[in-house]
Amino acid sequence: MKRLILAGSGSGSGKTTVATGLIAAFEARGVRVQAFKTGPDYIDPGYHQAACGRPSRNLDTWMLSPEANRAIFSRAASRAGLALIEGVMGLYDGAGSGLAGDGSTASLARLLKAPVVMVIDASGLAQSAAAVVLGFRSFDPGVDLAGVIFNRVGSPRHYELLREAVESLGGIRCYGYLPRDPELALPERHLGLVPHLERQGLEQFLERLRTAVSQTIDLDGLYRLGVAAGPLEAPAGENVFRAVAAGQDQAPRVRVGLARDRAFSFYYQDNLDLLESCGAELVEFSPLGDERLPPDLDGVILGGGFPEVFRSELSANGSMLDDLRRAAARGLAIYAECGGLMYLSQGIAPSPEAGEGDFSPMVGLIPARAVMGTRRAALGYTRAVLASDSPVGGPGLEARGHEFHWSTLKLPAEGGQGAEGGVGPGYGGGWHPAYRAVSPRHLEPRSEGLTNGRVLAAYTHLHFWSNPSLAANFVRACDRGSAV
C-alpha cells in the first residue's frame, strides 16, 4: 500500500499548504490520492477534499486503538494510487512524550510503518537547516525520516544552500520547495485556518498551488518513496467495523438530518460512515439557507463549525429555529457538538461585555447562553464517560474525543458552571450533565455538556470509532419505537 506522511517541524510550517498542493498535483497526473489527517482536525481535511474530490480521513493514536487506525487507513487507502497523510503540529508533538498512543505524527508513522517527509519553514534558515533535521532524525531512530520539503524559500539559490546542508548529513533527501509567496498562504482565524467552504477564489488558489508544486517539488521522487513503503499487516480492526454492522439488516432504517453548510461543517467522515452502516440514512440540510428541516426525520445531528461567525444569519432564519423546536418537542433524537451546542442554546453573545442589542437568539432548547471569550476556553483531548441517559448511550459508556472552543456556557443563576464551561451537577429542569470528562493534562473529572435523554449537546467532539456502539445506540434512539 503506497503511503507517506507529511510532517512538520512545528505548527505553522506549511504542512496543509504543501499537502494540498501535492494532492492536487498528483491528481492532475492521474494518481488517485487518498488523503488523511493526523489528529483532531476538520479544516485541513476540507482542503484535502477540495483538491482531490473525495473525503479525507482522520487518524489518531490517542483517540483510536491501533486496530481502529489500521482499519480506517486500509479501508480508505485500498483503492488509492497513493495515501498521503498530513501530520499534526510538530513531528513529535502529542498528548504524551512521543510514545505510542500519544496522538503524535511520530506514533502514527511507527504504527503504519510509513516514511516521513518533513516540511520546514525556511524563513531565516540556511546551513542551520541541517541541524534542525539532524535533531529530528536522532530524536527517535524508530521513525523513518526520509526527506524534507522546504516552505517559504526566498530563491532557487536559497534552496540550493538548504539542500546542500541537509543532504550532507547522508540518508535524507530534499524533495524540493515552495517559494515565499503570499498568494500561496492559507488565511487563519481563531480556530485555525478559514474553512475551504468560505475561501473566496478556491479553484484559482488550488490551481496556483498545483502549478507551484509541480514546478519546484520532485513528484516522481515522492511517489517512489511512497511505493517503497513496506507491507502492512492485515488490519484486525476491520473486524470491529464488521461486528458493529453485523445484524443491522434487521435494524430500523432511520432518516437523520445532518447540518452541513458554512456554519456547520466539522464531521469525521468515518463517524458518518459508521452511522450509515448501522442503518442511518443521512440527509443534509443547511441551518443557514433552508427554511425547514428535511421531511420525515427520526433524528438530527448538528456538528461543530463557526455559528458565532454566522450568528446573525442563523438567528434570522426563524422558520428553521421553529422547526428544530418542534422536532425536539416531538421527541426526535438530537446530537450536537460544540457549534451545534451553541446553536441549540438560548443564543450567542459575541463577548462577555456584549449587551442585549448584540445578542443573537438561537433555538433555545438548552437553557444557557454561549458567550464568546477573548482567549481559548479549551483545547485538547477528552476522555468522556456518559453520566446520564442520552441518545448515544447510557451511564458508564466511555468514548474519546477532543475540545477546541473559545465560547463558554453562561447558565441561569440557579445553575452551576464547571471547568471550561461545563454544566454543574446542581442544574435541574430535566437537564443533566452529559459526561464526566477527563483530559490527559487535567486528570480531575469535570462535568461537560447537557442531556435530557433525547437531546445531547456538548463541547466535546467524539470520534465514534473510539467506541463504535455510539453509532449503533444513536440509530436505535432515532427509532421512535425504541426506549431511550
User: Residues in the chain, how many?
Assistant: 484
How do strand 299-302 and strand 333-337 relate by DSSP bridges? parallel
Residues 109/5, Cβ–Cβ less than 8 Å? yes
Active-site residue identified among 52, 174, 338, 478 = 338
What is the spatial distance between Cα 277 and Cα 298, in angstroms, rounded to a whole number? 16
In whole angstroms, what is the distance from residue 424 CA to residue 409 CA? 11
How many whole angstroms separate alpha carbon 25 and alpha carbon 29? 7
Integer Cα distance of 83 and 57 in angstroms: 11
Indicate if 52 belongs to the active site.
Answer: no
Contacts 24+ apart (CB under 8 A), 408-415: 408/370, 408/371, 408/373, 408/377, 409/341, 409/345, 409/366, 409/368, 409/369, 409/370, 409/371, 410/349, 410/368, 410/369, 410/370, 410/371, 411/367, 411/368, 412/367, 412/368, 415/367, 415/368
What is the distance in angstroms between the CA of the first residue and the CA of the last residue of the chain? Answer: 43
CA distance 392 to 473: 5
Which H or E element spans position 483?
A: none
Q: How far apart are CA 360 and CA 268, in angstroms?
A: 28
- Give the DSSP H/E element, type plus range, for residue 148: strand 145-153
Which amino acid is present at 403? E
Beta bridge partners of 86: 6, 37
CA-based nearest residue to 479, from 365, 344, 333, 361:
333
What are the two backbone dihedrals, phi and then psi, of residue 470, each rounded to the nearest 5 degrees?
-55, -45
Query: Which of helix, strand or coil describes residue 283?
Result: strand
Query: So which residues are the catalytic ones?
Result: 338
